[in-house]
Amino acid sequence: MDNFSVFIQQFKPHLFWDVDVSELDPEASKRLIIQGVFTRGSLKDMHTVISNYGQNEVVEVLCTLNYLEPKTLNFVSKLFNTPKDKFRCYTRKQSSPQHWSS
């Protein structure tokens, strides 16, 4: 069993419910893995991803995602001491004004 198989098997199946885990590639699927773990994972899962990819790489990927839930965005912004305006999902939301709701 290779290192990536060991790495990916550390996570609960619900993190990657929408993909075949055996088809994941460490580089090609990096974005999907990081987003899945930071959206639905535990702190232990997040630490595992940071240990595998490195903090700079994780922050870079998170900053390029088109969508993060507001609570996840707030959490990763504080965790990595990165201003929200560095995240694409935040700047996209700010540039798309919402209509008044009645």
Instruction: Let me know if residue 16 belongs to a domain.
Output: yes
How confident is the model at residue 101, as a pLDDT?
56
Q: How many domains does the chain have?
A: 1
**How many C-beta neighbours within 10 Å does residue 94 have?**
10
The residues, any chain, with a CB within 8 Å of residue 50's CB and separated by 6 or more, are 58
- Residue 91 inside a domain? The answer is no
Tokens read off for 75: 């959490």
Instruction: Give the pLDDT confidence score for residue 9 in this predicted structure.
Output: 83
CA distance 13 to 19: 10
Domain span holding position 15? 3-85
Tens-digit pLDDT profile for the chain (102 aa)?
Answer: 577 778 888 888 888 888 888 888 888 899 999 999 999 999 999 999 999 999 999 999 999 999 999 999 999 999 999 999 999 998 876 555 555 554
